[in-house]
Amino acid sequence: MAAAAASEGADNEEFAMESESARRILAAGRYISYGALKRNSVPCSRRGASYYNCHAGAQANPYHRGCSHITRCRY
């Protein structure tokens, strides 16, 4: 009976360490978006669309690098 109680205490300690690790990992990040916090929801159901710009005709990656000699871009 004492062995079972000791085993149960060890299991609780293991879960406490896992939650401590998870807390540290989450604390290291900058933020969690509200969309990530919504349970069982898809951020954007449109294929290829950005999660942050989810409307018809929106580009998934609107960033464009300028043209310079080193990038060898042609018009």
Read off the tokens for 61: 């990656």
28 falls within a domain: yes
pLDDT of the chain, 75 residues: tens digit per residue:
545 555 555 555 655 557 777 777 767 667 777 766 777 777 677 776 666 677 776 666 666 667 777 777 765
Q: How far apart are CA 51 and CA 45, in angstroms?
A: 9
Maximum alpha-carbon separation in the chain: 80
pLDDT score, position 66? 75
pTM tops 0.95: no
The total number of structural domains that make up the chain: 1
Q: Is residue 15 part of a domain?
A: yes
Please report the pLDDT score of residue 8 as a whole number. Answer: 56
| Domain range for 22 | 1-40
Task: Please report whether residue 24 resides in a domain.
Answer: yes
Whether residue 18 lies inside any domain: the answer is yes
